[in-house]
Amino acid sequence: MSIKRFHGRVAIVTGSTSGIGKATAYALASEGATVVIAARRAKMGQAIVSDLVCQGCEASYCETDVSNMDSVVRLMDWVSRKYGRLDVLVNNAGIPGGSYSLTEYPDLMWDAVLTVNLKGAWQCMKFAIPIMLRSGRGAIVNVSSDVGFVGSTFGIAPYVASKHGLIGMTRAAALEYASRDIRVNAVCPGLSDTDMIAPAKQHHPEILNQYIASTIPMGRMGTPAEQAAAIVWLCSDDASFVTGHSLVVDGGILAK
């Protein structure tokens, strides 16, 4: 029987109780990783762990709020004590914020989006990288977005800013740690069928379908599993010479 790509490796996936994060956790576990579900929703996180364990995978849950540095420190200390190593970090946790014009955007919501989406990823890297350095290697993937490259007319300026920032931070970190065998990359999903677009599916399906038809060359949304496959590849040894890269998975939107 062949050895799975992540056999013996420990992976943290933040924001992994739904959507792309959940799909990534399952994909890494299926490839042999010990997966830590790091998220705020304890009941959902524990249910995922139970399901993974029933499937013969190794998994655990640690309640985590990436916007809170103390919470991130507790997560990393707990992982270090429990497993003695950390090989993979997927910074997936993020929030969309609301839709407002730039001049009307609420201050507190602006701060929340930047704190979770950008500062949260930095805080996780800040305390994960020292553990990886002790192991001699590591792989980090930050989940950005196709709007990390372009603007948007949907009134989501802080979300766009945070996703641009993630790409810049990914490149800076990749260069800083390249010589120490820690690879840092980003995946940039296009519109994907996750909880984030559930309100649009429920309340404005005609507008959503029109947008998909007119904007996405492949004529459909992406799936969480498709995004997870890209993330897992970047975390794996198959991408051993890839760092500082932002992989766009958007059905062709940015190719236009």
Residues serving a catalytic function are 159
> Exposed, middle or buried: residue 136 (CB in 10 Å: 0-12, 13-18, 19+)?
exposed
Residue 42: its H or E element:
helix 42-54
Q: How many CB atoms lie within 10 A of CB 72?
A: 23
User: Which single residue is written with the structure tokens 């429920």?
Assistant: 202
Amino acid, single-letter form, for residue 161: A
The answer to whether 248 and 146 have CB atoms below 8 angstroms apart is yes
**Burial (CB count within 10 angstroms: exposed 0-12, middle 13-18, buried 19+), residue 197:** middle
> How far, in Å, CA of 197 to CA of 222, rounded?
12
Q: How far is CA 180 from CA 137, 186, 214, 223, in A?
A: 7, 19, 44, 34
Residue type, 3: I
